[in-house]
Structure 1
Amino acid sequence: MEEEKIFNKKITRRDFLKKSAQTGIGVGIGLSALSTIRIAHAEKKGEVVISPMTFIVPRPTLEVMDDYNLIVPREMGYFKDMGLEVSMETGPDGMASTKFVHQNQADVGYPSPGILTASIDTGMDVILAYEMMIGSVWHLVVREDSQIKHPKELAGATISVWDISWRTIVDPLLAELGIPLDSVEYLTAGPQWGQAVQQGQADVALGWLALDVQWEAVGMKMKFFRGTDFSEMPSNGYAVRTADLKDPAKRELLVKFMRGSSMGLHFGRFNPQAAAQMTYDTYPGVREQMTPEIALESMRQLAHSYVEGERRGLGYGAFVPEGWQKYLDIIYKIDQTKRHLKVDECITSELVAEANDFDRARVERDAKNFKLNSTWKDIKTRGPFF
């Protein structure tokens, strides 16, 4: 198979924001869930062996608040201390999060459960090794004046999506709600999928966590039915090649990457403004789209869900197998997979304990001692990070 080239397919944040303002588009975790790490050859820098790694997302831009858990360990030197040099790139589509991992072009992806299970069902050698959030990231979005008062009332609705592949996300949600799949229609509206609901071309749009803040920033006010209120199914996480877990050297690099993510999440709990400042200052496009207050709230919504496993005493990156079992049962029942996949084919907790093995006191001390600049020192959070 001819190797696909993926690292040069990007659009500028300015171009994307211009389109966002015109269409009401919002980006972030949802498009990530619809991403990918390539371990290159290690290079010695002084006495430290540095292993370059690339994190790839399928969304057309990196300039969002979602990946603060990777920005923090990069800026605070945690990755460097572990011998990692992590760069971040965009990928061409959602399937890149598993396809390029399977093809050995990347080492970690960020797929949604739908992309992950479809990939495993077709024989790809991938498995989720780090859960970014427990519970559903997905929201269903209607106009503020909509007569739809609960997601259970969606029978007969027209559902707006960017691409028809998003149906692999929506159909299981509908099935979980008890809505016949043949009772709804889909409108493929591209980047104007949210605007299509605003203009009355569709009744409901697929949304996700923190999209409300991003759409509000460009003048779109909608009613969001939050997935955690009506769904028990899982969300996206970090996928790896199953074979790499059996290779000690590759496995150790993956552990270090996951550990860096855990350190970034932990830092953000103790000084969210600092984590937001680092991410905000990294991306000029975020500064064009969001005020610091909106950026912090966008990050807060994500962060509160990212740390659910830690709140439950399970650790960062932990899984809840019961939610995965329910999801696998549903997607098999609605013929999304040919096989009735098993939980242990799709997720593994073998890296989670090691990903949580870091000096928490050091990270908390670093967070406490971080000096906020004049822009961030007086900004307050709207809700909890713990």
Structure 2
Amino acid sequence: MKNRTSSMLTRRQLLQVTAGGVIVSGLNIPRLHAEPYDDTFTWISPRGTLEVLDDYPFWIGKKMGYFDDLDVEMQPGPSDGTATVKFVDVGQADMGFPSPGVFSFALENGMALKSAFHMGALDTFSFAFRTGEGPSDIKEIEGKTILLGSAAWQSICDPLLAAMGVDVSTITYVEAGWPTWGTALAAGQGDAALSWEGLRAEWISTGLEFEYWLGVQNSPMPANTFVVRAADLEDPDKVEFLEKYLRGWAMGLEFAEHNPAAAVQAVFEQFPTLASNLGPELGLMSIIQQMNVFRGDMSMREGWGWHDMSSWQTFFDTSAEIGQISSPISAEDVCTNMLIPAANDFDHDAVKADAEGAEVSEDLAAVDVEALRASMFDQAI
């Protein structure tokens, strides 16, 4: 099996993002459109790092062989919030994981991308406040300052707040840097900070104790999604590859539902430093938060990765109303469920058996998962 993560310089890492947000290359590299994916298929992170629990389905799939012999790799990408779509657009990555706001930025700027697998069924984003300073009504955030890790994250915040009735023209955004924007909030800078499920647990591990307005409880918006070049969905060979690839992710998601401790272990084995920083309890807390987002209400979904077009349309309509996009976008035109049946066409009982038979460390096995699930929203205001 050829699953790879690479920390070495590859053709995909020869790009830089200028201060103006333009992708440039140090070498004369043409725009690449694999026929089909003759080169390694690359998924690129929106965060500038892979050392998080967010991508646990991939690491489970890699460990369990769910990607078969597909030649695939993960890349962290730059911390610039829009790099995940820019790299896919120019052919230097094959799949990105943007927030809806960054996806809309791509569409607004003429990038011919399409959402092919919707990971975030519920809104993962939240606003952190210093303890005791969280508003009883999110509308009270008007006139306040929100700290961001990247200026591009304003495209996440504005539609979310607008959907909750907030006048976003009154908000001041400050780019406090990655990964220090949470620390800046704790130090008294700004009134709130953008956060998300899973990160809440990671911040606790670094001593950052906040209270949160949680989108997962309150927001009608979707969360991050897997995007590809729209042209790739018109190529039967690429479609077949994508179906197999996304099946690996879907199997990883299914596996975690039956044994979240084994899912955490798969990530910790890949990133020992993350394991030492988080530890078993916070690792499980983080993954449980994210599993809730990725799963959503499966009784209303037609499998892992299925797009709720009404949720996406709400997002695009709100974005147009506040001027984040210049013209309306139809969710049906830029999101597709065409790959979802094949991605979910696997032996669910076999995956369940894999999960239930997986061995985990004593430390992870000792964590009370049900207690963590019960306390998942204890920091909510």
Q: TM-score range by the shorter chain?
A: 0.7 to 0.9
Using the alignment, how far apart are the partners of 2:55 and 2:228 within structure 1? 18
Match of 2:177 in 1: 190
1:135 counterpart residue number: 122
Once residues 201 and 285 of structure 1 are traced to their aligned partners in structure 2, the CA distance between those partners, rounded to angstroms, is 29
Deviations 1:41-68 (A, max 9, x none): 878xxxxxxx742222132321111111
Report the TM-score, using the length of structure 2 for normalisation: 0.85
- Of 96, 100, 106, 1:109 maps to 96
Q: Which residue of 2 aligns with 1:276?
A: 264
Instruction: Show the counterpart of 2:148.
Output: 161
Mapping 1:32-111, distance limit 5 Å: 52-80=40-68, 83-92=69-78, 93-111=80-98
Aligned Cα root-mean-square deviation (Å): 2.4
* Cross-structure match for 2:27: none
Aligned residues: 347
Counterpart position of 1:25: none
Q: Decide whether aligned partners of structure 1 residues 65 and 183 sit closer, same or farther in structure 2, where only a CA change above 3 A counts.
A: same
Residue 180 of structure 1 corresponds to 167
- Aligned residue number for residue 7 of structure 2: none
Q: Distance in 1 between matches of 2:338 and 2:37?
A: 24
SS in 2 for 1:324: helix
Cα offset, 1:122, TM superposition? 2.0
In structure 1, what is the Cα distance between the partners aligned to 2:153 and 2:205? Answer: 24
Q: Distance in 1 between matches of 2:263 and 2:362?
A: 15
State the secondary structure of the residue aligned to 1:84.
Answer: coil
Pairwise CA distance, 1:39: 6.4
Aligned mates of 1:135, 1:372 — CA distance in 2: 29
In the alignment, structure 1 residue 264 sits paired with structure 2 residue 252 = yes
CA distance in 1, matches of 2:83, 2:215: 25
Q: Alpha carbons of 1:72 and 1:147: their partners in 2 closer, same or farther (altered >3 Å)?
A: closer
Q: How far, CA to CA, are the matches of 1:84 and 1:95 in structure 2?
A: 27
SS at match of 1:264: helix
% identical equivalent positions: 34
3-state SS of paired residue (2:67):
helix
Matched, 1:7 2:10: no
Does the 8 Å contact 1:38/1:108 carry over to 2?
no
Match of 2:209 among 201, 209, 221: 221
Shift of 1:138: 0.7
Match among 125, 136, 140 for residue 112 of structure 2: 125
Name the TM-score, length of structure 1 as normaliser: 0.84
Q: Secondary structure at the match of 1:127?
A: strand
Query: How far apart, CA to CA, are the structure 2 residues paired with 1:348 and 1:267?
Result: 24
The structural deviation recorded for 1:96 is: 2.4
Structure 1 Cα separation of the partners of residues 318 and 365 of structure 2: 47
Unaligned residue ranges in structure 1 (runs of 5+): 11-36, 44-50
| Structure-1 separation of matches of 2:287 and 2:97 | 18
One-letter amino acid matched to 1:91: G
